[in-house]
Amino acid sequence: MYNRGIRGATTVAHNEEQEILDATAELLKKVVAANEIMPEDICSVWITVTPDLDAAFPAKAIRVLQGWDMVPLMCSTEIPVKNALPKCIRLLIHVNTNKAQREMKHMYMNEARSLRPDISGQA
């Protein structure tokens, strides 16, 4: 068994708590479904937001999902790079799996598709 990283990112239109929570939950659910994983397979999830998103901790959206209460979650702010994609939520999911790294399906939604156009249509 290997520990693999799966990336995901999305954007929101507004710095509003419910919008951030909804977008985070939607992104996580799509990554989990695309990769056919369960919370028990997850080692941890690193969540970052751009500095313009401060209305909510995105981890709050994940902790309330059934089976996710014991998954270690960490939120952080992205470094403020000039001209970076605004209002972006990113996930790095560390998962135990027998799949090869190339089999991991990364998910880029909304304006975040521009971050990785080479793989944003994968899942």
Residue of 7, 17, 19, 113 marked active site: 7
Active site residue 4: no
Residue of 17, 26, 111, 116 marked active site: 116
For residues 69 and 61, give the distance between their C-alpha atoms in angstroms, rounded to a whole number: 11
Active site residue 116: yes
For residues 46 and 44, give the distance between their C-alpha atoms in angstroms, rounded to a whole number: 7
Residue of 19, 26, 75, 113 marked active site: 75
Residue of 2, 43, 63, 103 marked active site: 63
CA angle 24, 28, 31 (to 5 degrees): 140
Residue of 19, 78, 111, 113 marked active site: 78
Active site residue 102: no
Active site residue 90: yes
Query: Identity (one letter) of the amino acid at 86?
Result: P
Query: What are the b/e assignments for 15-28, b being 16+ CB within 10 Å?
Result: beeebbbebbbebb
Residue 7's closest CA among 80, 107, 102? 107
Active site residue 43: no
> What residues act catalytically?
7, 63, 75, 78, 90, 108, 116
